Amino acid sequence: MSFLRQLLRRNDGGVPSELRQQLRRLEKRIGYRFTDSILLVSALRHRSVLNKENLGRHESNERLEFLGDAVLDFIIAEYFYHLFPGMVEGQLTKLRSVIVSGTALVEAARRIDLGSHLILSENEDRAGGRNRASILEDAFEALIGAIYLDRGIAPAREFVETHLLDNWREVVKKDEYVNFKSLVLEHAQANSWDSPEYRLVEETGPDHSKRFVVEIFLNGESFGRGDGSSKKSAEQKAASVAASKLGLLGSDDLDSDSASG
């Protein structure tokens, strides 16, 4: 047993029969059967249940999410590298950033009904945690990490290609899926600029209904503003304005490479 798997395993307690039945339903839905069910439990276990179950922080799905994020990046990069042998690095990077964006991962998680299988605290469950985008995104990546630890890169690749890459052409056409912050950051790095700076310029509304306005600066110059219900969404919108000004959103090169693939 690998060192990582030993750290993830809870003593030798196994999986209760009721939970095992729930896991089997998820396995059937994703088309993958775990050899080690403890890994699947770990991928589904949100940190909100740790105190109740007297578990350490490392026993939530956050470690598997960390691993799954890296595995996902590799699988996506490899997939498009082979699919488009004539595509340049910048376009490959753009494709990857779109596919691994939070929105695309959340939609993939919802398609497999991942939320209904999450192991959450009662409070988190009542607060809508099963449908919360950040929780679904993390759990989807954790699931990839669990599959990788269970039986290696081949089944992890099959899972990603089946449940995330099956409609990649439709995904890349939707601006809502583009990780604009990544695009702008990569452009800045390619030109040896400093990292983009996001300045909060306005915050309004009550705590339950905040609105944020963020301005993005590159090399000390403002490239636009964005607003949203969170700082993260406002930054994403500001980055989309900057990406448009920088000419990073044109689809002609991608379309021509797609046609040749």
8-state DSSP, 172: T
pLDDT at 88: 78
pLDDT at 93: 83
* pLDDT band at 1; cut points 50, 70, 90: very low
Which of 3.30.43.10, 3.30.160.20, 3.30.465.10, 3.40.630.40 is the CATH number of 179-260? 3.30.160.20
| Amino acid type, 81 | Y
What are the structure tokens assigned to 155, written together?
A: 């089944």
CA-nearest of 74, 72, 82, 1 to 38 is 1
Of 124, 138, 141, 257, which one is the catalytic site residue? 141
**36 half-sphere exposure, CB direction, 13 A CA radius:** 22
Between CA 129 and CA 115 the distance in angstroms is 8
Q: What is the dihedral of CA 137, 103, 131, 24, to 10 degrees?
A: -50
Task: Quickly tell me which residue has 């990582």 as its tokens.
Answer: 4
Phi, psi of 201 (to 5 degrees): -110, -15
Q: Is residue 123 over pLDDT 70?
A: yes
Between CA 141 and CA 115 the distance in angstroms is 13
Q: Is residue 137 over pLDDT 60?
A: yes
Q: Is residue 30 over pLDDT 90?
A: yes
36-92 pLDDT, tens digit each: 989 999 999 998 888 777 777 888 899 999 999 999 999 999 999 998 887 778 778
Q: Is residue 146 over pLDDT 90?
A: yes
Quick check: is 62 catalytic?
no
What are the structure tokens assigned to 157, written together?
A: 């690749």
The pTM assigned to this predicted structure is 0.65
Query: For the chain, what are the domain ranges?
Result: 3-171, 179-260
Q: Is residue 3 over pLDDT 50?
A: no
Query: What is the mean pLDDT of the segment spanning 145-154?
Result: 97
Of 59, 65, 69, 124, which one is the catalytic site residue? 69
Fold of 3-171: Ribonuclease iii, N-terminal Endonuclease Domain; Chain A (1.10.1520)
pLDDT at 11: 39
Percentage of the chain beyond pLDDT 70 is 85
Between CA 108 and CA 114 the distance in angstroms is 9
More confidently predicted of 167 and 9: 167
State the Cα angle at 186 between 185 and 191, rounded to 5°. Answer: 100
What are the structure tokens assigned to 109, written together?
A: 């998680």
Quick check: is 69 catalytic?
yes
